[in-house]
Structure 1
Amino acid sequence: MYASIYFPSKKEIDAKIEQIERSEISMITKSLEASYILTEAFNQLKAFILSYKFKDEEEEIFFFKDAKPRFCSRLIYYRKVYNIEMNRPTGSDKQREYLSEILNDINRYNCKRLDFIRYYRSSSSHLDSLYFLRGQTNAEQYLETFRHEFDQNFSTNCDFKVAKILANDMLSAYLMDEIELLTDNGIKIFTNGFPASKITWLGSKAELQEQIFSWDSAGTFGKVPLTQLFDYIQNVFNIQLDRNLSRSFDDLKIRNSPTPFLDKLKNALLRRMGRK
């Protein structure tokens, strides 16, 4: 809707982040480099918004409820991952305990904000003017302590809260993956028996994500966690997908045609059968 106004270089930023994620460097270096890129882009976004006049309240709410949080969540995520990896202990038991405690912290954070999380995830809008317009009195029970880059002209009562929730989604997936990949010696391995020879997915990322979500919805692979299924498919098909599964699914839901790839597969099979 309005996203291209605020992020004219979004494709360039996404390409840089994807290149970093694909590179053969440590997670500490990846998260640090990604943070640098996103911090610079964040500062540019802030400068733009401070000189920009929203067309109406609807546009302002969209920016602070959707556009800014989705961008800031990535910056929060990479900064948090950097800190996690910098302080990560040695030894499998200590690492599992360390990562599990961080995961518990995320769950405690979410539990204290369940009402707001339900409001946001249910796409409710009746309190949007209080939550996502600037200059409103804060009526929230839990105030965020984060004040880095805080500016009343660039912040609302809840835009950071949304960004933190989205970042926590990504962090939870990251932490669960890391816990699963630890062996008794503290060495990360894939335990699912990946094939020695990979084949490369030639379709779009959105098409593959649509397929994976459909498999998970139908329980095709049993009780395999969605994050584990994503990791396995990424490895087998030699592709890097968005780690924010919640955002990926939201993107699928808002498309005019919700299942274009599944429809394409069905039509291709019917033509092969001579039934179309």
Structure 2
Amino acid sequence: MSSKINNLLTNLNDQLNFIDLEIDNQSTRCEKAIEIILKTIDSLRGVLLKTKFKTDAEEIKFFKEIKPQFTSKLIYYNTIFKIEMKRPNGGSRIVKKYYNNELVKLKAFFDNELEFYKYYRSGSTYLDHKYFLRSKFDIKMSLSSYYFEADTNFSTSHDYKVAKILANDLIQLYLENNLVLIGSKDNGEKSQRKPNLKMIWTSPKVALIELVYALHTEGVFNNGAADLKDIAEYFEHIFEIDLGQYRRTFLEIRTRKADRAKFLTTLNKGLLKRMEDTDEGI
């Protein structure tokens, strides 16, 4: 079962990454992501129904660690979709107030689930047999009404709450990043000292596009929340360069028959050689 589930999760992440690269509109991106996640979760349910856990520990691991990785993505994209669809038109002050109200809602969830949140975040296990085994619920543990309507063959009393915690972490990050972006626009250019030396990109544009995609894939900006478009526009700004139709260029990069990541390979080789030369005292 583990290999099938790992493949499902890997394929899901790959598809979501592709959507993130190809679709700029946030609402459209969420719609497409939700569609893919629902199909994947349905496949996960099919795998589970054909599987009999050998031990309680295996079942606990599935519902505490594995399933929430899938359902948290559904919660995240669905929530972001609703947030963006309800986002008011208006100036930055109105939008900031709206995003801050959404952060207040997240805090309310953590406050209401503080006991379980502490249990989960601390890595505790002494109640796992009640939280993450099917049909082992304890009515005294403030269960959500959602559980009584859920498929008890595919749910426990608290696996959804784990997924909600994971999703809320990402939602909070999304909201905070948007608030930072709004604040940056309001304040104009940062007052920090700028270097006097102007840097000009002198390698081919295709090399910079390859680098931009690599950095976005690795999630090195804003804890992985930065859009591909934002990163590309940032590099265009600091280097005063027009990357043109960079998405089409990336498609051409992908069709290379030899070294598809040619520029990154060159960077890697050059850096390793420099390290080796330094080690040898050159």
Q: TM-score, normalised by structure 2?
A: 0.68
Residue 40, structure 1, aligned to residue 36, structure 2: no
In the TM superposition, residue 140 of structure 1 has moved relative to its aligned partner by 5.7
Map 1:100-115 → 2, pairs under 5 A: 100-115=100-115
- Could you say if the C-alpha distance between residues 141 and 98 of structure 1 is closer, same or farther in structure 2, counting changes exceeding 3 Å? farther
Query: 1:167 is matched by which residue type in structure 2?
Result: A
In the TM superposition, residue 227 of structure 1 has moved relative to its aligned partner by 3.9
In structure 2, the residue matched to 1:216 is none
Q: Deviations over 1:116-163 (max 9, x none)?
A: 112212222121111111111325644324359711111111100000
Query: 2:36 is matched by which residue type in structure 1?
Result: I
CA distance in 1, matches of 2:98, 2:179: 10
Instruction: Point out 4+ residue stretches in structure 1 off by more than 3 angstroms.
Output: 139-142, 145-149, 183-186, 189-193, 195-199, 201-206, 226-234, 266-272
CA distance in 2, matches of 1:202, 1:59: 38
In structure 1, the residue matched to 2:81 is 82
CA distance in 2, matches of 1:48, 1:232: 33
- Could you say if the C-alpha distance between residues 112 and 135 of structure 1 is closer, same or farther in structure 2, counting changes exceeding 3 Å? same
Query: 1:6 is matched by which residue type in structure 2?
Result: I
Residue 129, structure 1, aligned to residue 129, structure 2: yes
Identity across aligned pairs (percent)? 29
SS state of the match for residue 146, structure 2? Answer: coil
Q: Deviations over 1:101-127 (max 9, x none)?
A: 111111111122222112212222121
CA distance in 2, matches of 1:190, 1:160: 43
In structure 2, the residue matched to 1:176 is 176
In structure 2, the residue matched to 1:256 is none
RMSD: 3.8
Residue 273, structure 1, aligned to residue 278, structure 2: yes
- Could you say if the C-alpha distance between residues 3 and 170 of structure 1 is closer, same or farther in structure 2, counting changes exceeding 3 Å? farther
CA contact (8 A) 2:110 2:117 kept: yes
Deviates more, 1:73-82 or 1:226-235: 226-235
- Could you say if the C-alpha distance between residues 232 and 164 of structure 1 is closer, same or farther in structure 2, counting changes exceeding 3 Å? closer
CA contact (8 A) 1:61 1:128 kept: yes
Structure in which a larger fraction of residues adopt helix? 2
Query: 2:156 is matched by which residue type in structure 1?
Result: T
- Could you say if the C-alpha distance between residues 235 and 155 of structure 1 is closer, same or farther in structure 2, counting changes exceeding 3 Å? same
SS state of the match for residue 7, structure 2? Answer: coil
Rg (Cα) greater in structure: 2
CA contact (8 A) 1:181 1:190 kept: no
In the TM superposition, residue 10 of structure 1 has moved relative to its aligned partner by 2.8
CA distance in 1, matches of 2:149, 2:43: 13
- Could you say if the C-alpha distance between residues 65 and 26 of structure 1 is closer, same or farther in structure 2, counting changes exceeding 3 Å? same
In structure 1, the residue matched to 2:10 is 11
Query: 1:173 is matched by which residue type in structure 2?
Result: L
Give unpaired runs (5+ residues) of structure 1.
213-225, 239-265
Q: TM-score, normalised by structure 1?
A: 0.69
Number of corresponding residues: 229
CA distance in 2, matches of 1:154, 1:232: 34
CA distance in 2, matches of 1:50, 1:229: 34
CA distance in 2, matches of 1:127, 1:29: 40
Deviates more, 1:10-19 or 1:105-114: 10-19
Deviates more, 1:163-172 or 1:23-32: 23-32
- Could you say if the C-alpha distance between residues 13 and 139 of structure 1 is closer, same or farther in structure 2, counting changes exceeding 3 Å? same
SS state of the match for residue 73, structure 2? Answer: helix
Query: 1:62 is matched by which residue type in structure 2?
Result: K
Give unpaired runs (5+ residues) of structure 2.
202-207, 236-270
SS state of the match for residue 134, structure 1? Answer: coil
SS state of the match for residue 170, structure 2? Answer: helix
Map 1:1-276 → 2, pairs under 5 A: 3-91=2-90, 92-139=92-139, 141-146=141-146, 150-182=150-182, 200=211, 227=222, 231=226, 235=231, 271-274=276-279
Query: 2:126 is matched by which residue type in structure 1?
Result: H
